[in-house]
Structure 1
Amino acid sequence: MLASALPILRENILYTVLSYVVIFESVFLMDFLFRGLEKMHIITIRFILMKVISTLLTFILIKNDSNILLIPILDILSSTIAIILVFFEMKKMNIGLRFSGMANVFNSIKNSFVYFLSNVASTSFNALSTIIIGIYVNATEVAYWSVCMQIIGTIQACYSPISDGIYPEMIRSKNIGIVKKALKIFLPVIGLGCVATIFLAKPVLLILGGEKYLPAVPILQLLIPNLFIGFLSIMFGWPTLGAIGKAKETTISTVTSIIVHIILLVALIIFNKFNLYTIAIVRCITEAVLFGMRYMYYRKYKNLFNSEEVK
């Protein structure tokens, strides 16, 4: 339905379908299982393997626009390899799949609805700007935005193993020192990375897209604050608030940031200020709102955490 409504998706329907296959495959990566078993190294190894395979093959095989279909195909290939390794690990642990009936399925959905809503809102948050841009601007600008968001998204994807790695320990210990230590270690690295990305935006886009994507340099630079603020948003989300049972508050912060995002985008359209530069600024503002709310909740419920020093 969405593909038929948006010209850019309709014109690239095969690419759209293949990209959806990658999303479908993610169901079988079993993150929830290994997170629950506290086998985070399996998730980390699988994630690194997927990205290395996909990235290397992309640099080797993608030469120009005519190779566009290879991008989702390579993602499908890397995801399939990761799924095979996941099921191999499950077999070693004598874990198999069993269908327990629709009643249990609906009961599980009911019990985890807050988590579901939060994840759906978060996913929508990342896709909303691209969809609206696809409606209001030309294909060239959509391409600029897409490549910038791919770069930002790829870097931010590296945050998930960090967040997933400390989440089980936070649930068990409620020790906020774990989060603080992670922030002390990774924030300086991310900060330096942000500064480096600002200065290296031009060569990065030149390598990834060629000279025709160089007009996207200032857009990428405007999106850089998302890399820093986004890490804070993630760390004060599920690893912090979720660990003390504040799933509702975590979800409220996500949904509120979505509403702010929509309001600001509509305002840009109404006042005829809708362009890639203002959208990038709105994206940063929205991320700041998300972090601000989560940090506010953290301060409110600070007494629910332990404060043991982490070596």
Structure 2
Amino acid sequence: MNLIKKWKEREKGSFIENAVMLYILQFSNMFLGLVTVPYQTRIMGAEIFGKLNVAAAIMMYFQLLMDFGFILSAVAKISRHRDDPQVLSKVLTCVTWAKALFFAVSLLVVELCISPGLEDNSMRLMYFFYLLATGTNSFLPDYMYKGLERMSIITVRTVLIKLFFTAMIFLFLRTKEQYFLVPLFTAIGNTGAIVAVYWHLIKKMGVHFCRVTVREVFLEIKESFWFFVSKIASTVYTSTNTIILGGMDASGALAGTYSAASDKIITPVRNMMNPISDSLYPHMIKHRNFKLIKRTLLIFMPLIALGCGVLFVFAEPICIGFFGDDFGASILPLRALLPVVLFTLPNYVLGFPTLGAMGLAKYANLSTVFGTVIHLINLGIAFFTGHLDVLTLCLLTSLTEFLILLFRVVVIFLNRNRLRPEEAGKIEEKILDE
């Protein structure tokens, strides 16, 4: 009995530690972003800042390609086989080979399709550094530590990367012509973290690279495919907005206005909820504690609603005081995007943590595809009727987030019998068979 008690306490401790470490990671990202973004916007101005964010939005697609849904498919597999080093080593090797393949494809696409259309060598250099930063970030095996619920290791190294980036920005970014330094410093920091993390995996945890076949690599890719579809679909109605605005206004001012509200305020606030979902996911896959989902929503939703109210009321001093006088146009878009914040946590926890534990992960994937299709249809209608502008994009994004939530709630309600404890064994057998 003592051994069983110790095991349960260790499992609970791992869950709490995982959540705490993920929050430390998110808050460090937010804090260091708050430190550097006002400096960047004042050095570069709205136009250059907008072009930089258009490039970052494009790189999100390459990030999604290289990650290919492994952060979900591999995490679930690692969580189920966390006590088998051979399985963990095989997953690590197959995923790394897959990411190397996707990085090569990304490099080819940038060189053949993007670089020829850029205005000068400085822009080409900036895109190359962004791709390098994206690739090095992708090779960090965060999926391994999330599945093992050992996020403290990756958290420490990531925070050190951010500290390095922050220091370098203040030391070397002096003129708007040096904007390419932003992705360069990120790539350098990521490279150092890769060396440290893989050393820890191999030397301290006994997880190492091993011999795998081409078939095993492509099987890993196949298993992750629908998670990839879900991830890239969810990005369509976020990053694509910035790209569309960049196409509508070559100066970059519209993209800069939208990015200030969306990427620098709404996205960091949404990211504050990621640790809850990310720590719940491996825990729910292993334990299927659905009461924890209910308690999570009851505790956090009132706080989120209160935070949205504060952001709505103080949107003007936040935008102008934080970004500068050039960003007064970001006030209305910020308010229009607040429903996205309100729907984010229920969307996160009712998605893969809940539907995955119910054996219905495919519906979590399908919900984002459904929402994205509706978003694209709405964008088309707005474009052809002449109503496509920053405010419309923000309102449509909020609508999309609500529709995805509605889809997931309906699926859970229709399959509510799977929430009963006696169904856990049947679901486990079904997942392992698949």
TM tier relative to shorter chain: 0.7 to 0.9
* Residues 1:280 and 2:391 aligned together: no
CA displacement at 1:19 relative to structure 2: 2.3
* Structure-1 separation of matches of 2:130 and 2:116: 17
Structure 2 residue runs without a partner (length 5+): 1-111, 423-434
Q: In structure 1, how many angstroms separate the alpha carbons of the residues matched to 2:309 and 2:421?
A: 32
For 1:184, the equivalent position in structure 2 comes to: 298
Q: CA deviation at 1:104?
A: 1.0
Partner SS for 2:303:
helix
Q: Deviations over 1:164-193 (max 9, x none)?
A: 111111112222111122222322332232
Question: Which amino acid is 1:181 matched to?
Answer: R
1:135 corresponds in structure 2 to 247
Instruction: Give 2:217's aligned residue.
Output: 105
Corresponding residue for residue 262 of structure 1: 376
Match of 1:31 in 2: 142
Cross-structure match for 1:125 = 237
Alignment match, 1:147: 260
User: 1:83 and 2:197 equivalent?
Assistant: no
Using the alignment, how far apart are the partners of 1:192 and 1:9 within structure 2?
Answer: 47
Would you say the 8 A contact 1:249–1:297 is kept in 2? yes
Structure number with bigger Rg: 2
Aligned residues: 308
1:114 to partner: Cα distance: 1.8
Q: How far did residue 69 of structure 1 move?
A: 2.6
Give the CA deviation at 1:210.
2.0
Contact kept in structure 2, 1:118 and 1:254, CA below 8 Å: yes
* Higher RCO structure (Cα 8 Å, ≥6 apart): 2
What RMSD, in angstroms, separates the aligned Cα atoms of the two structures? 3.0
Counterparts of 1:228 and 1:273 in 2: how far apart (Å)? Answer: 25
1:208 & 1:60 partners in 2: Cα distance? 21
Match of 1:298 in 2: 412
Assess if the C-alpha contact under 8 Å between 1:114 and 1:247 holds in 2: no
Q: Distance in 1 between matches of 2:171 and 2:275?
A: 26
Please identify, of 50-59 and 120-129, the stretch whose mean Cα deviation from structure 2 is larger.
50-59
> 1:29 offset after TM fit, Å?
1.8
Q: CA deviation at 1:274?
A: 0.6
Note the 1:189-208 alignment, pairs <5 A.
Answer: 189-206=303-320, 208=322
| Shift in Å, 1:268 | 0.6
Corresponding residue number in structure 2 for 1:246: 360
Please, which moves more after superposition, 172-181 or 199-208?
Answer: 199-208
Aligned-pair distance for 1:273?
0.2
1:11–1:82 distance in 2 versus 1, CA, 3 Å: closer
Q: Report the AA paired with residue 300 of structure 1.
A: L
Tell me the alpha carbon deviations over residues 42-98 of structure 1, each in whole angstroms, 9 at most, x when there is no partner: 455555555566567657776764453333234334434543442243131122233
Matched, 1:21 2:132: yes
Shifted more, 135-144 versus 66-75: the winner is: 66-75
Residues 375 and 400, structure 2, Cα contact 8 Å, conserved in 1:
yes
User: CA 1:8 to 1:122, structure 2 compared with 1: closer, same or farther past 3 Å?
Assistant: farther
Q: Distance in 2 between matches of 1:96 and 1:36?
A: 16
The corresponding residue for 1:70 is 181
SS at match of 2:238: helix
TM-aligned CA distance change 1:193 to 1:35, over 3 Å = same
Separation of aligned partners in 2, 1:61 and 1:208 = 22
Gap regions ≥5 residues in structure 1: none
Distance (whole Å) between structure 1 residues aligned to residue 400 and residue 196 of structure 2: 37
Matched, 1:92 2:204: yes
Q: Which moved more, 1:173-182 or 1:285-294?
A: 173-182
> Relative to 1, partners in 2 of residues 1:93 and 1:181: Cα closer, same or farther, differing over 3 Å?
same
1:212 aligned partner? 326
Pair 12,221 (structure 1): closer, same or farther in 2 beyond 3 Å: farther
For 1:8 and 1:199, how far apart are their aligned partners in 2? 41
Contact residue 40 and residue 164 of structure 1 kept, 8 A: no
- Pick the aligned partner of 2:341 from 227, 230, 235: 227
Change (3 A) 1:154 1:269: same
Q: Confirm or deny: 8 A CA contact 2:340 2:398 kept in the other structure.
A: yes
* Cα distance in 1 for residues equivalent to 2:119 and 2:295: 44
**Normalised by the size of structure 2, how large is the TM-score?**
0.63
